[in-house]
Structures are given as C-alpha cells and as structure tokens.
Amino acid sequence: MLMLRPMRIAIGKRLRCCAVLMLLASLAGCGLLSGGVERAKAYAEHVGGIGRYGKLTEKETQWAKIAWRYFENNTNPENGLVNGSDRTPTFSMWHLGDYLAALVAAREIELIDAHEFDARLSRVLAFLQQMDLSEASVPGKVYNALTGKMVSYDNKPADIGWSAVETGRLLAWMRIVGERYPQYREYVDKVVFRMNFCQVIDDCGAMYGVSIENGKRNRYQEGRLGYEQVGAAGFAAWGFDARRLWREPETETVNIYGIPVQYDARESRLSGVQTPVLTMPYVLLGMEYGFRYPGEDTAGATDWRGMADAVYKVQALRHEREGVLTARTDYALREPPYLVYDAVFAAGYAFNTVGPDGKEYPKLAMVSTRAAFGMWVLWPGEYTDLLMRSVQTLYSAERGWFDGRMENSGAARDSIGLTTNAEILEVLLFKLKGTLLPEPGPARYLARQTADPYDRPNRCFPAERPACVPKPQARALVP
C-alpha cells in the first residue's frame, strides 16, 4: 500500500518511540529503572534526536526565567505588543516571530500558565488580524509597539516597505503555534489569509523585499545563504514551494583550518548585499526543522546539517589553535553601522566583522550570547560547555540577557533585546522537547478557503500557483 511521505515519517517516529517506551516499561517492572534509563526515555521523547536533550536543570530553568523577565518588562499593557529592544517601543516581524517562540517556550517550560498564554497570544492574534499591511500585501518592516502602526526606522508614521525574510520568520512561528496548539489554528490561518503574496515570493521560493524612501519604490531579491533558508522555510511551512533554495543553493567553498565551509556565491560587489557565514541561521534551521525541508524526511541534495557542523567546527578549532573563544553571528547597534555581521567568513576573510556596506569593524567582534546558547544545545561537548561558562553570567536578573561579551576586551555588551532573550528560551525549549515544527495536522481553514479553483482569492497562495519553472533571477540592488 502506498503511503504519503509525511504519514510515513510520523509512523516511523511513533514506532521508534513506542519500542523504546515498551523497553522502559519492562525494565521498570523489573525494578531496573535507573538514571541511564531515564535518559533513554528523555531521548525517545526528544523529537529529532539532535543535540542536548532532557528535562531542564535548576540552573537552566533559572536561565529561562531571566529571559522571560525581558517580556514581562517590555510588554505594553495597552495592546500586548512587545518592544524589540529594552524600553524602545518599535518592533519588526522578526521580533514578533521571536515573541511567539518565547511565548510557546514560556508555556511549555511552565513559566506561565494556560491563562496567561491565552491572554498574551489572543492579543497578538488581534493585532495581526487588524494591523496595517504594507501596500496591502504583507506586514511592514517596522511597527510602533504603543500604537501598533507602521513607522519608519526613526519611529515616524510611514510605510517603508516590507521584508520577505522577516515575514517568513513570522509565518514559521504562526505555523508552529497552530500545530502545537490546534485550538488556535483557525485564527492564525485567518491572519495569513489577509495577505497577498504575489510580489513577495515567486513560484520557486525566491523572496522579494520592498523599500520605499522619498516616494521611490524599489523591489529587490532578498536573502542570502542561511537566513534565506530560514525565511523560505517559514513560507514552505504554509505550502509555498521553496525546495529549490534548499536543494540548489548558490554556494562556493572556502577552507578554514582544513574544514570546507560553504558560503553564498552571489557577488556582493554587484548587488551591494553582504554574504556572511553566521551561526544563528544554522541554529534556527536545526532547532525548528531538524535541518530538513518542512514536511519532508530529508533536506534534499544539500547536507544542511553538514554545513552547520562545519560552521561550528571552525569556531571550536579557532579556540583550540588560537585560544580565542568564538561564537559569532549578527547583531544590532543603536549607532552606525546599526547592523553588524560578526562572521565566520565574510568579504573574503575568515572571522571577519563587517557592516552592511562591507566596511570592516574588528573592534565589534563579539562572543554572542544567543550563538553560544545555540551552539551549546546543538553541539554538546567541552568547547560549548566552556562557551556557556563564558556567557552564563551575562544578564541582569531584573531585565534579561545581554547580547554578549566583546571578543577583544572581554567586556560585557550589556544591550538587552527581544531576539537574544527569545532565542535563549527557544534553545531551552528545544532541549526539553526537540524539533519544534510538528508534523502537519489535518486540512485547515486556509486550505479550504483556497481549494476551489473557480473561486480563488487571487493573492498567489500555494494552491493558486503553477509548478516551479527555474529561471535566472534578475538581481536588483538594495538601496
């Protein structure tokens, strides 16, 4: 009998889990249930079998409480929206996706009860259902957390366009919420059904952002290796075809300490877009999808887990050979260059730190708190234990976790933001539960609304699209 792939995957997982649990029951009946068997039980219940697993220790639970303090402090009582950085009332769709991740983690780690979870999630859903959309398509780049209105980067009312990658991040966590908590499926589907994706993603998964400045509109291909796949996975979780981005990424290889590291082959000098190799995209792909394309049992032709392993290994080797603790990723600043690509490889050099314009900023190299947590949970070992000892005191008990520790001086970078604290909570949820996107459930509201070929909404939902026909992509410059 033929069986659909998702069903085959799910049944295989259930059989493996049942076999382990039957063995445990037998051992328990003989009085042999020990700490080792308890760990085997935890492993069997850890979806995906990747990285550290098991119940949170007392120390790890305290880490989670510190991270959740950020959200307690930065939730606006008028509308339930959360500031993107401490005491700063703006946020992006990436921030909102991260907040959903933090909210799920807080509930499943039992930092909050079902009533608070519902109250917080209901307010987010209410905002998503009524928020202004950029060009009546998808969420805008920035919103004011007090008013819920679209704003510019300097917090003035404006529609400055959208980010497809950040929209993908929001879509991912809306899907995860709907699958983990089926009572909310209808409502997250209705949020997605508001949107128009015709200008946002093409039939092969290429994503396009829009920038609007001084009345001038520019649409450009968005995403580079790593975050491109993170964003595309969010769309794929809703049925958009992004397999090409997962199976045929445009990459070249650089050897660092003898380890082949893949980087984006698209020329930044032509596009104006940097192509750094960063830690966090791979951490998110591992925790949320198990390094697999959503809904499939393999990643396709590309070994994403192997690529992630290489990014981890060269950072561990740098410490082994040069004595430099390394946990690198991107982070934001309040002053120029505003965004830092603290990279494993960027602009032709290993362990390079650059801004969006490609200028080097070696003094901004940092041991990232969220990257250290992510490496710790996915790659257990002596090096990541050492990383955690370096960052585990970088927090304010009253405000949340700091961004990191400066690589050159060891000084704490004591800025506090939503993403660092959310992704720490996500790390701890992953340790407890495993891969975070469940197997897809039954047909949903959105599928039913787009199923009738004679009554389509004509907003380029997956059911309205033809099959992917690959073609060369025109690359517009990002302003």
Among 318, 376, 370, residue whose Cα is nearest residue 344: 318
Q: State the Cα–Cα distance between residues 404 and 391, nearest whole angstrom.
A: 7
DSSP letters, 243-277, are HHHHHS--EEEEEETTEEEEEE-S-HHHHS----B
**86-135 pLDDT, tens digit each:** 999 999 999 999 999 999 999 999 999 999 999 999 999 999 999 999 99
Structure tokens at 280: 């966090």
How far apart are the C-alpha atoms of 112 and 127, rounded to whole Å?
21
Is 8's pLDDT higher than 60? Answer: no
35 found inside a domain = no
Calculate what percentage of the chain has a pLDDT beyond 90.
82
133 contacts 139 by C-beta, under 8 angstroms: yes
Q: What is the largest CA-CA distance in the chain?
A: 75
Tens digits of per-residue pLDDT, 140-192?
999 999 999 999 999 999 999 999 999 999 999 999 999 999 999 999 999 99
pLDDT at residue 359 is higher than 90: yes
Task: Please return the burial class of 196, using the count of CB atoms within 10 Å of its CB with bins 0-12, 13-18 and 19+.
Answer: middle
Q: DSSP for 161-206? A: EE-HHHHHHHHHHHHHHHHH-GGGHHHHHHHHHT---TTTB-TT--
129 within some domain:
yes
pLDDT of residue 333 exceeding 90, the answer is: yes
- One-letter identity of residue 112: I
Whether 250 is covered by a domain: the verdict is yes
Q: What's the predicted TM-score (pTM) here?
A: 0.91
What pLDDT does residue 40 have? 74
DSSP 401-432: E-SEEETTT--EE---BHHHHHHHHHHHHHHH
Which residues fall within 8 angstroms of residue 322, CB to CB, at 6 or more apart? Answer: none
Instruction: Give the pLDDT score at 292.
Output: 94
Amino acid at 314: V
Q: Encode 38-65: b = buried (16+ Cβ within 10 Å), e = exposed.
A: eebbeebebbbebbbbeebeeebeebbe
Give the domain range for residue 291.
56-432+443-464
Q: How far is CA 78 from CA 74, 100, 124, 199, 331, in A?
A: 12, 18, 12, 33, 29
Q: How far apart are the first and last CA of the chain?
A: 54
Go through the chain and tell me how many residues it has.
479
> Exposed, middle or buried, 214 (CB in 10 Å: 0-12/13-18/19+)?
exposed
Cα separation, 203 vs 240, in Å, equals 8
At 444, the pLDDT band (50, 70, 90 cuts) reads confident
Q: Is 23 helix (H, G, I), strand (E, B) or coil?
A: helix
Q: How does residue 373 score in pLDDT terms, banded at 50, 70 and 90?
A: very high
* 103 is a domain residue: yes
Q: How far apart are CA 87 and CA 244, in angstroms?
A: 41
pLDDT in tens, 228-277: 999 999 999 999 999 999 999 999 999 999 999 999 999 888 788 999 99
Residue 460 has phi, psi (to 5 degrees) of: 65, 40
Residues 97, 437: Cα–Cα separation, whole Å: 14
Cα(195)–Cα(461) distance, rounded to whole angstroms?
A: 9
Mean pLDDT for 63-81 is 98
- In this structure, is residue 33 part of a structural domain? no
Residue 202 belongs to a domain: yes
Indicate the Cα dihedral angle 389, 391, 393, 398, nearest 10°: -150
Report if residue 192 sits inside a domain: yes
* pLDDT score of 28: 52
Helical (H) or strand (E) element with 404: strand 404-406
- pLDDT score at 300: 61
How many structural domains is the chain composed of?
1
Asked if the structure places residue 2 within a domain, the reply is no
Amino acid present at 309: D
Task: Read off the pLDDT of each residue in 211-232 and give the average, rounded to a whole number.
Answer: 96
Residue in this structure with the two tokens 């996500």, named with its chain if needed: 426
CATH of the domain at 301: 1.50.10.140
* CA 59 – CA 37 distance, rounded (Å): 23
The answer on pLDDT for 15 being more than 70 is no
Q: Which two tokens mark 471?
A: 């073609």
Peptide bond into 438 cis (omega under 30): no
Integer Cα distance of 92 and 153 in angstroms:
10
pLDDT tens across 19-63, in order? 555 545 554 555 545 567 777 777 777 888 899 999 999 999 999
Residue linked to tokens 């997982």:
13
CB 236 within 8 A of CB 293: yes
Cα–Cα distance for residue pair 286/280, rounded to 1 Å: 10
pLDDT of residue 271: 81
Q: Classify residue 402 by burial, with Cβ atoms within 10 Å: 0-12, 13-18, 19+.
A: buried
> How many other CB atoms are found less than 10 A from the CB of residue 357?
9
Q: Supply the mean pLDDT for the chain.
A: 91
φ, ψ of residue 19 in degrees (nearest 5)? -60, -45
